[in-house]
């Protein structure tokens, strides 16, 4: 079946006004990532919290390619030219994220070769998923993981403790990714609504998609994360676990604070832009400029 064959006649709903007003921009950036800091670049979180971030990074390039395919499948069915343009920009941004996380992950492969095995397992799982599920379910998994990503991005942008004492290159990469995830957080969702509608069936598939995607994501990440910490000899490092707890669930509570927005996805009238955090985007161009690839190569040549 061709990718464009099954055009559905879904009731046309107006697009979320905020989503409509934010057009993502593909930015071609690169970040200086010192290999000797990959295991502890989150200064306040130690090796334990840093490897949690690193384990998530390992999932990103293969995950982003999956999202790209899921959205691209429906792009030609989109009637609204602005949404079509946003879908193309979404694909461009995710491709850049995947490329830069590939660079980052290469530092992890050097330090812990089992990180490459983990990435391969995630790829195998996504290939199985790609070949055995419907396009609508893959888009449902995509918008679910985009929701997880958007709420993580919001936490990262909101919490100054994640930046304090962090190695600047790694932190800048994550901040850029968080900003662009915020910038495009409505796009895949709008593609979903434009092609699947807002009926009971669409709601059921998207709600199940979040439960499924969350279970698979953490089910893959947590055992491999524990293995990386073990290989660093930090499984019994109580001080390190205390820092980790503070960052993830305690006073800072990066993961704890994700619970409420996670549940908001189950509201029948949910939209990613119900939570308007667009103020973070105000300084995005100024923040990005020093990392532009073109500028980096020009200054290297000077």
Coil vs helix vs strand at 256: helix
Kindly tell me which of 62 and 78 has the beta carbon lying closer to Fe ion.
Answer: 62
Nearer to Fe ion, 78 or 144 (CB): 144
**Total residues interacting with Fe ion, rule: CB under 5 A:** 3
Question: What residues contact residue 15 under an 8 Å CB cut-off, 6+ apart?
Answer: 80, 83, 190, 193, 194
CB of 102 to Fe ion, least distance (A): 12
Cα-to-chain-centroid distance, residue 127: 19
Residues 93 to 122 in contact with Fe ion, rule: CB under 5 A = 94, 97
* Distance separating the N- and C-terminal Cα atoms of the chain: 53
Nearer to Fe ion, 166 or 187 (CB): 187
Choose between 154 and 181: whose C-beta lies nearer to Fe ion: 181
CA distances from 146 to 75, 129, 181, 262, 290 (A): 17, 17, 8, 11, 27
Q: How far is the CB of 131 from Fe ion (least distance, A)?
A: 23
Choose the binding region for Fe ion from 9-17, 174-182, 192-200, 293-301 (rule: CB under 5 A): 174-182
Of 136-144, 178-186, 220-228, 263-271, the segment contacting Fe ion by CB under 5 A is 178-186
Alpha-helical (H) ranges within the chain are 17-21, 46-75, 81-111, 114-132, 135-158, 168-183, 187-196, 200-231, 238-248, 259-264, 284-288, 293-301
The nearer residue to Fe ion, 97 or 271, going by C-beta atoms, is: 97
Q: How far is the CB of 150 from Fe ion (least distance, A)?
A: 8
CB of 249 to Fe ion, least distance (A): 25
| 175 touches Fe ion by CB under 5 A | no
160, 139 contact by CB (below 8 A): no
Please report, as ranges, the residues that interact with Fe ion according to CB under 5 A.
94, 97, 181
């Amino acid at each position: 079946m061709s990718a464009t064959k099954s055009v559905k006649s879904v009731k046309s709903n107006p697009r979320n006004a905020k989503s409509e007003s934010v057009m993502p921009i593909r930015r071609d950036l690169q970040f200086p990532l010192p290999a000797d800091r990959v295991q502890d670049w989150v200064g306040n979180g130690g090796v334990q919290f840093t490897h949690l971030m690193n384990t998530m990074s390992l999932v990103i390039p293969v995950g982003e390619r999956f999202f790209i395919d899921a959205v691209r499948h429906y792009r030609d069915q989109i009637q609204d030219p602005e949404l079509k343009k946003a879908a193309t920009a979404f694909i461009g941004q995710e491709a850049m994220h995947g490329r830069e996380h590939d660079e980052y992950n290469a530092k992890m492969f050097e330090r812990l070769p089992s990180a490459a095995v983990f990435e391969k397992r995630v790829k195998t799982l996504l290939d199985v998923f790609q070949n055995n599920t419907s396009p609508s379910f893959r888009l449902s998994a995509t918008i679910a993981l985009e929701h997880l990503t958007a709420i993580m991005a919001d936490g990262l942008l909101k919490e100054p403790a994640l930046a304090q004492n962090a190695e600047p290159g790694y932190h800048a990469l994550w901040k850029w990714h968080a900003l662009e995830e915020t910038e495009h957080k409505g796009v895949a969702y709008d593609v979903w609504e434009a092609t699947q509608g807002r009926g009971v069936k669409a709601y059921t598939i998207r709600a199940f998609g979040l439960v499924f995607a969350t279970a698979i994501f953490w089910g893959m990440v947590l055992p491999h994360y524990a293995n990386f910490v073990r290989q660093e000899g930090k499984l019994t490092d109580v001080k390190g676990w205390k820092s980790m707890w503070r960052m993830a669930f305690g006073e800072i509570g990066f993961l704890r604070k994700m619970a409420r927005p996670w549940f908001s996805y189950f509201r029948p009238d949910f939209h990613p832009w119900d939570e308007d955090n667009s103020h973070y985007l105000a300084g995005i161009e100024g923040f990005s400029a020093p990392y532009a690839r073109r500028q980096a190569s020009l200054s290297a040549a000077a």
